[in-house]
Amino acid sequence: MPLYKNGSFVQDAWTTIREGEAISPAGHVIAPLAWWQAERQAFDQSHVPIGVLIEPGASIDDFIADLPRLAVIALVIPKFQDGRPYSMARLLRERHGYKGEVRATGEVLIDQIQPMLRCGFDAFEITDPITQAALEAGRIPGVAHFYQPGVNEAPQPGARPWLRQAGR
């Protein structure tokens, strides 16, 4: 599946598995959270990269202890109108200082790319051909002026008000 990251489409080194499928000892597997939690003992001594797939109903508290172990957190966007993953991404970045990949998977459409970036997503699994074409053409619709701080958008020092900034 095409993966958009850091401004271009890249080779996806990760495989997403379903519950019941084996987590490869070589890692680079994104496993459903419950499956990872059931299988994790096998990886206690291993440092292979592991990712988890998080459904929007989950709470970060359910896997907060695992954060240092996780290289990818893939947040499921069941429908593009589902706003829960946006809050989860911000919490992961801002509250928990998570530095790994925060990936969007599911109904990821072009008009949601900008707000997702601003909430701390940095990788996007793209299935929609129109979205893929727009991203390949470098067209991310959105606004260029923001009234609130975004993730990784430090307010410009000395700039006017406390929240406003021009986009990157």
Partner 1 sequence: MYRYDEFDAAFVADRLNQFSDQVQRRLSGELTEEQFRIHRLMNGVYLQLHAYMLRVAIPYGALSPRQLRKLAHIARRYDKGFGHFTTRQNIQFNWPALKDIPEILGELASVEMHAIQTSGNCIRNVTADHFAGAAADEIEDPRPYAEILRQWSSIHPEFTYLPRKFKLALSGAPHDRAAIQVHDIGYQLVKNEAGETGFAVYVGGGLGRTPMVGHKIRDFLPTKDLLAYTQAIVRVYNLEGRRDNKYKARIKILVHEKGFEAMRDAVEAEFAADKSDLLALPQNEIARISAYFAPPALTERPADSQALKARRARDPAFAGFVDVNVAKHRQDGYGLVTISLKPIGGIPGDATAEQMELVAELAEKFGHDEIRVSHEQNLVLPHVALDDLPAVYDALRAQGLATANAGLISDIISCPGMDYCSLATARSIPVAQRISERFADGPRAREIGAMKIKISGCINACGHHHVGHIGILGLERKGVETYQLTLGGSGDESCTLGDITGPGFSYEDVVDAVETVVDAYMGLRASPDEDFLSAYRRVGMAPFKKALYERDSGSDI
Nearer to partner 1 among residue 72 and residue 110 (C-beta): 110
Strand-pairing partners, residue 31, are: 52
- Is 99 an interacting residue with respect to partner 1 (CB under 8 A)? no
Q: Which of 92, 98, 25 is nearest to 58 (CA)?
A: 92
- Is 87 an interacting residue with respect to partner 1 (CB under 8 A)? yes
Nearer to partner 1 among residue 59 and residue 127 (C-beta): 59
Listed in sequence order, the DSSP H helices in the chain are 33-39, 84-90, 110-119, 129-136
Residue 142 to residues 36, 48, 111, 122: CA-CA distances in angstroms? 36, 37, 7, 16
Q: Report the distance separating Cα 51 and Cα 66, nearest Å.
A: 10
Q: Report the distance separating Cα 108 and Cα 126, nearest Å.
A: 6
Residue span 140-159 as binding mask against partner 1, x where in contact by CB under 8 A, dash where not: -xxxxxxxxxx----x----
Nearer to partner 1 among residue 21 and residue 99 (C-beta): 99
Binding range to partner 1, per CB under 8 A, among 32-40, 44-52, 97-105, 139-147: 139-147
Give me the residues that bind partner 1 (CB under 8 A), please.
59, 80-84, 86-88, 90, 94-95, 109, 111, 114-116, 118-119, 130, 141-150, 155, 160-164
